[in-house]
A and B are shown apart, each in its own frame.
Chain A
Amino acid sequence: MPQSGRALLEAASAASPTPKGVSLHSVTKVFGDVVAVAELNLEVHAGEFFSMLGPSGSGKTTVLRMIAGFEDATSGSIELDGVDVTRMAPFDRNVNTVFQDYALFPHLTIAENVGYGLRVRRMGKSETAERVERALQQVRLAHTADRLPHQLSGGQRQRIALARALILQPSVLLLDEPLGALDKQLREEMQVELKQIQREVGITFIFVTHDQEEALTLSDRIAVFNNGCIEQVGTPNEVYEFPQTAFVAGFLGISNLIAPAHASVITGIDKLISVRPERVRLADAASAVAADETSVLGTVYETVYTGPATRYIIETAAGLRLTAERHNDHHPTAAAAFGRGDAVRAIWKTDHVSIVP
């Protein structure tokens, strides 16, 4: 499909009366006496790259497996393109999955793996071969057609798993931590490739990850999971800059969560507030503060050099610890601006603070 695939799909969904995409209505899943997912409601729009982000055990993979049909929901309903699929078997759902460890069939060649879904649907041999060829070209692995999965590298296997799922042109593609087993550099390359492929094919992607950076990089929208519930759904910008709960603020990047007791003293707001380390500036204790800024005095408790930036952990007299991040944009040999024990003033723009409801 051309670049306009997504636009076409969106137009189609706007025109047709049935709602496209995936919707979950008060879905609950109980394993024994453990509630894995509790009364979950979720709308995933057609054609979007949607991430389910959360720590392990937060229920995100269970939700994915229920959408795929590998697990039955204990209660609630799941709709796919307006059709109730709650009790449908996986092979009857127009959904395909890319598994965490790829799940390629070890006894089949790459071409047979990619063509498996077509063969099962009894598609003709020549058409299958043609479509397999095209799918392999799409992931730039046409030359591996006759190899066995164990002869491929992790990144290649990952792309084959993707090709095997996409060849069936599902209305939703589910990805279960697909990049988890790759090393950092390959992971970043694959992120770019995934995003490109998603834009090309225009299929809804539901992507499970515990890596907040990955979710922020890839997604149109993110659902943050915790303890079987969704804490917040929003665009990457929304969930990062305007966390609705303390958990979201803490899980996405580093956050200075200032408890109401401290917040009321420093800012006069008697609520839990959050300010990101990159928005906190450090200055000498004696330096002046502008009218639109808030500041607090403290001493440097620890410094952490991360390469592109240095993090300073400040402790105030009241015992509050704050993190300030400073880009290392100075001369490479210059000494750090502050050392342990220095008295400093942590300053931020008053309106850069977000209040956590």
Chain B
Amino acid sequence: MNEVARHEPQAGVPARERRSSAMRPPVDIYEEDNALFVVADMPGVTRDGLSVEVDGNLLSIEGEIGIDMPEGITATYAEAQAQRYARRFTLSHEIDAAAIEARLEKGILQLRLPKKERHRSRRIEIQAA
């Protein structure tokens, strides 16, 4: 397992370097009246390996790829070149961070970022004159 050993974060490695060895998952982001939606491709990530965090207005998505590899495997070709995914977004003030919901299915992370009540769009009826 020496050549394709797990990439454990080492204490001596500065955070910035560790971050550079993560892949940037592709995302789709769209908006509905009451919420924003983020969909990210993170194949290989299980519930245990996933972390979704909001710190202030910063949303961090991180996931560890959990694939069991046989002993003594050597890589001959690699398009995925990291053990983990990471991506961050800044949120706007109308997002209700406490109410964010996450779902992970078949390696796809779906986030629902609800808007605070008073920011929800309201349909304005047009009165007849």
Q: Do A and B come from one complex?
A: no
